[in-house]
Amino acid sequence: MNTYKALDDCASWPAIAGTQPASLKTLLTEAAIRKRRMSAGGGLEYCYAAMDLADDTLALLYDAAAELDLLGQYRSLAGGAVMNQGEKRMVLHHLLRGEPAGPVVKDGRDYHAFYEKERARFSAFARAVREGKLRGSTGKPFSRVVQIGIGGSDLGPRALYLALEQWARERKLLTLRASFISNVDPDDANGVLADLDPESTLFILVSKSGTTQETLANEALVLARLSSVPGLKSSAHMVAVTSETSPLANNPSYLDSFYIDDFIGGRYSATSAVGGVILSLCLGPEAFAGILEGAAEADVLALSAEPGKNAALTDALIGVFQRNVLLRPSTAVLPYSQALSRFPAHLQQLDMESNGKQLRRDGKALRMASGPVVFGEPGTNGQHSFFQLLHQGSDPLPLQFIAFRKNQTGFDPAFEGSTARRKLNANLAAQIVAFALGKDDADPNKRFPGGRPSTLLVADELDPRSLGALLAHYENKVMFQGFCWNLNSFDQEGVQLGKVLTKQVLADGGPKDPALSAMASLLGAL
């Protein structure tokens, strides 16, 4: 029986709850841009100069954070307490990249050492493949790798791969190219396979339980395709990433298996073997180590009790203010970086699956709204799309910008007096100010209300370290927000009912429920 409080149990909550948005016309100054800023690790800086809350409101939120003991809860979690109460599991993804609250040793297992041992194994494996020492069963070196997985086994690894694909290519590190098969829709797997030479392709099958319906169906489809290639031995073309107790572990169908455990949640698994095998194969084990290094830096900063030094905590509190005080139900993540094109989709899972809950950890219903809808696309693309609503739509929603001062690729000739990079970042500066300050006009159609708040994460360049810090920043932010709401961010019971009903549809004789039967019939699924 836990005794955690929620934000609305805190002494400072009535004062926080009565706050109005502060005027950005007053707040967004040169001085604020200098002062409302702090390191987020890995070369990243967090800036909330364009956020519509006053300093004294933020101080009240820090008071609440202290009363809720957010840092103590994080320390417990990283130190091996059973913080996934629903599933009675530890939550150990921080141990994948460090030991921010010291070693976790249980029943003779040192968890950090275990994860490091697996990393050493898949690093060696990746080196053998990259150097051409380990080849396909027909003798060709591997040039492509395909990850078969869904949810956290897909979104995080895919977002990270795309984030560093051009970075690695520019540095001649991109030895293998990656593709991903996730959807049970067979057009997904067939489309990916049509572009590959199976003889030079390595597959990574990723399922912690080894029972994920989509992933096993896709494995079967891939194996059926491979079986038609003369001379190809499929077991030499597939490795598994799974838990040691799954049916995929130590299975002669696979060339090798790399392990995670029950304490690494799917959406928190990008820095485990789930992301590590494919990233080490494609970009090299050193690049993957750089991601872990940046993440570890962010994890340590997130322990800081000094308010102006803890970016993840500050970002979390600001998000809660937007959600529970200003009652804004959605937030957009807008990276001004094409390489982060799928990073919002990863954050969408991370945030919405972690905090899209109604139940507190004491089994009672939440009295306040929990996680927001998260969506986003890269800028400047979004400017030519949904930014219209962000500027002039009915309701303000908080925006989260991500930016870098340098390119990943080298070619950027000036055009009309400026490089494309400078144009990109000039656009972002302009958007932040336009959203915040707006503009009056005699023509009401050209009026911009302003008062539309944003935060900014900025680094010199998108490289493994800043990417790792970015990933961990959001993991820690979402964790702190879950603590604020006193909910369990680490289970996902909401996905279970659909699985049960799907089995009923697929069972012999079909489902008994007439509505389910009629819907399945309409969809041709009986």
Q: Which of residues 88-147 bind a copy of itself (CB under 8 A)?
A: none
Cβ-based nearer residue to a copy of itself, 123 or 492:
492
Cβ-based nearer residue to a copy of itself, 76 or 341:
341
Which residues are within 8 A (CB) of 172 and not within 5 positions of it... i.e. 6 or more apart? none
Using rule CB under 8 A, residue 173 touches a copy of itself: no
Q: Are 40 and 472 in contact (CB under 8 A)?
A: no
Find the DSSP H helices in 284-378: 285-301, 311-320, 343-355
Cα–Cα distance between 72 and 162 in angstroms, integer? 35
Helical (H) or strand (E) element with 400: strand 399-404
Cα–Cα distance between 440 and 446 in angstroms, integer? 8
Write out the binding residues for a copy of itself, residues 405-444 only, by CB under 8 A.
405-413, 415-434, 437-439, 444
Cβ-based nearer residue to a copy of itself, 23 or 166:
166
Q: Are 234 and 224 in contact (CB under 8 A)?
A: no
Contact with a copy of itself (CB under 8 A) among 66, 300, 326, 359: 359
Q: How far is the CB of 8 from a copy of itself (least distance, A)?
A: 14
Cβ-based nearer residue to a copy of itself, 18 or 497:
497
Q: How far is the CB of 451 from a copy of itself (least distance, A)?
A: 13
Q: How far is the CB of 148 from a copy of itself (least distance, A)?
A: 13
- Residue 441 is classified by DSSP as -
Write out the binding residues for a copy of itself, residues 276-295 only, by CB under 8 A.
none
Q: How far is the CB of 181 from a copy of itself (least distance, A)?
A: 9
- Give the active site residues: 353, 384, 499
Q: Are 165 and 339 in contact (CB under 8 A)?
A: yes
Contact with a copy of itself (CB under 8 A) among 168, 352, 399, 457: 352
**Using CB under 8 A, which of the segments 60-68, 89-97, 126-134, 218-226 binds a copy of itself?**
218-226
**Using CB under 8 A, which of the segments 28-36, 58-66, 229-237, 279-287 binds a copy of itself?**
28-36
**Using CB under 8 A, which of the segments 9-17, 26-34, 246-254, 274-282 binds a copy of itself?**
26-34
Residue 145 phi, psi (nearest 5)? -135, 135
Q: How far is the CB of 476 from a copy of itself (least distance, A)?
A: 19
Write out the binding residues for a copy of itself, residues 504-523 only, by CB under 8 A.
504-506, 513-520, 522-523
Q: Are 126 and 289 in contact (CB under 8 A)?
A: no
Tokens of 7: 């934000």
Write out the binding residues for a copy of itself, residues 446-505 only, by CB under 8 A.
446, 448-449, 456, 458, 488, 491-502, 504-505
Q: How far is the CB of 253 from a copy of itself (least distance, A)?
A: 15
Site string for a copy of itself, 252-271 (x = CB under 8 A): --------------xx----
- Residue 310 is classified by DSSP as -
Which residues are within 8 A (CB) of 363 and not within 5 positions of it... i.e. 6 or more apart? none
Sign of CA dihedral 319, 322, 327, 330: negative
Cβ-based nearer residue to a copy of itself, 101 or 155:
155
Bridge partner residues of 331 (DSSP): 374
Cβ-based nearer residue to a copy of itself, 124 or 426:
426
Tokens of 318: 């600001």
Cβ-based nearer residue to a copy of itself, 3 or 228:
228
| 3-state SS, one letter per residue, for 96-156 | HCCCCCCCCEECCEEHHHHHHHHHHHHHHHHHHHHCCCCECCCCCECCEEEEECCHHHCHH
